[in-house]
Amino acid sequence: MRGIFFNTGERMRRYAGRHISWALLLLLSSQLCAQDLHFSQFFNSPLSTNPANTGFLPEHDYRLGTNYRQQWASIPAQFRTMSIFGDAQVLRDYFETGWVGVGGLIMRDVAGSGNLTSTKVYGSAAYHQMLGNTGLLSAGFNIGWANKRVDITKFTFDSQWNGTFFDVGVPSGENFSATNINYLDVQVGLNYAWFPTDDIYLHGGASVHHVNAPKESFFNTPGYDNTVARRYIAFVDAMLKVNDRVIVSPGAYFTTQAKAKELTLGLHGNYNLSGDGQTQLIGGLYYRGGDALIPMLGFQWNSVRLMFSYDATASALSNYNNIRGASEFALLYQNYYNQANQNMRQMQCPVPRF
């Protein structure tokens, strides 16, 4: 559920002339309030979900990943969200039963006919502490720079409508004070993992985004509160080994920001194709409440995982977009610094594996 929110503390008064009917339909399908960027495959975008996930790698020493999402391709005003991230475990020799995670995340989003572009660059850090032999507690934060810009020359407004067409030579009457803004952004989070046996791994966490209450607006409206609303995210997931061929991973993700809420839940499973776990087929199904059914399909080969998902619209908007919601890809690479680290990791933080 993205809605056509401009996450600037206020929404544009009018959308591009030939897109107005679509804008109204999309507004009806969503709540009129700011909402951040997100991915349906929340478990494949760990650093944007919770900064405490930085270096939260029970199975590996480091990982690299990228995500791409295209929403509402069947209508003129599309949304495209991209990210690239990386994180790693460091300072393991300084802590007997813990370690530090460091990482970085770049996100970019282009929305609508006005090319509203959001670029965010974050650096993150977290500390992970073993609790006995079956628990792991993590706390982390990220801090970064956010930029928003919009091309107002591509918009038309109600004041420019002459009864027949939009006359772009007529002043819009809109009070734009800027078309390019920047601000500092901070997130914090906590995670906990529990792995009582080699076949059971449970994981959950919560995070707060925009804790520094940044200001964001293209307009100069006296008395208007342009503070970016804090966003709260909670998630739980698990890895459960059924047998030597199948591992299932149920999960749930909840987020709320201002008056917008989103709940996504479902599961995906890995099937051991090669027998030694080096080649796996991934399939799953998730549901975002009141919005979309999300089938997933993927493939894992050694340290590389590729997953594709599709948001099939399940709301009233399906009458207009023919159920064509969003397509999303995730590519991850995870590995060890050396063989000795691989053996230690498997002993210290056991997770279900083939």
Q: Which domains does the chain have, with CATH numbers?
A: 17-348 (2.40.160.40)
pLDDT band, residue 50 (cuts 50/70/90): very high
Contact, 9 vs 257, CB < 8 A? no
More confident residue, 91 or 36: 91
Would you say 47 and 66 are in contact if contact means Cβ atoms under 8 Å apart? no
Mean pLDDT along residues 66-95: 85
Cα–Cα nearest to 302, from 69, 44, 60: 60
Tens digits of residue pLDDT in 131-173: 988 999 999 999 999 999 887 766 766 766 777 776 666 666 6
Q: What is the pLDDT of residue 4?
A: 31
Residue 115: what pLDDT? 74
Contact assessment for residue 65 and residue 330, using Cβ atoms and an 8 Å cutoff: yes
pTM: 0.83
pLDDT in tens, 252-287: 999 999 988 999 999 999 999 998 989 999 999 999
- Whole-number Å distance between alpha carbons of 124 and 121: 10
Q: What are phi and psi of 292, to 5 degrees?
A: -155, 150
The answer to whether 118 and 147 are in contact (CB under 8 A) is yes
CB 252 within 8 A of CB 225: no
Share of the chain above pLDDT 90, in %: 54
pLDDT at 12 exceeding the cut of 60: no
* Residue 263 confidence (pLDDT): 95
Q: Does pLDDT of 75 surpass 70?
A: no
pLDDT digits (tens, 9 = 90+) for 207-229: 999 999 998 887 777 767 788 99
Q: Which of 270, 353, 338 lies closest to 58, judged by CA? A: 353
Pairwise CA distance, residues 222 & 226, whole Å: 10
Q: CB neighbours of 248 closer than 8 A, spacing ≥ 6?
A: 239, 240, 242, 267, 268, 269
The pLDDT of residue 18? 39
pLDDT of residue 347: 57
Q: Kindly tell me if the per-residue pLDDT of 120 is higher than 50.
A: yes
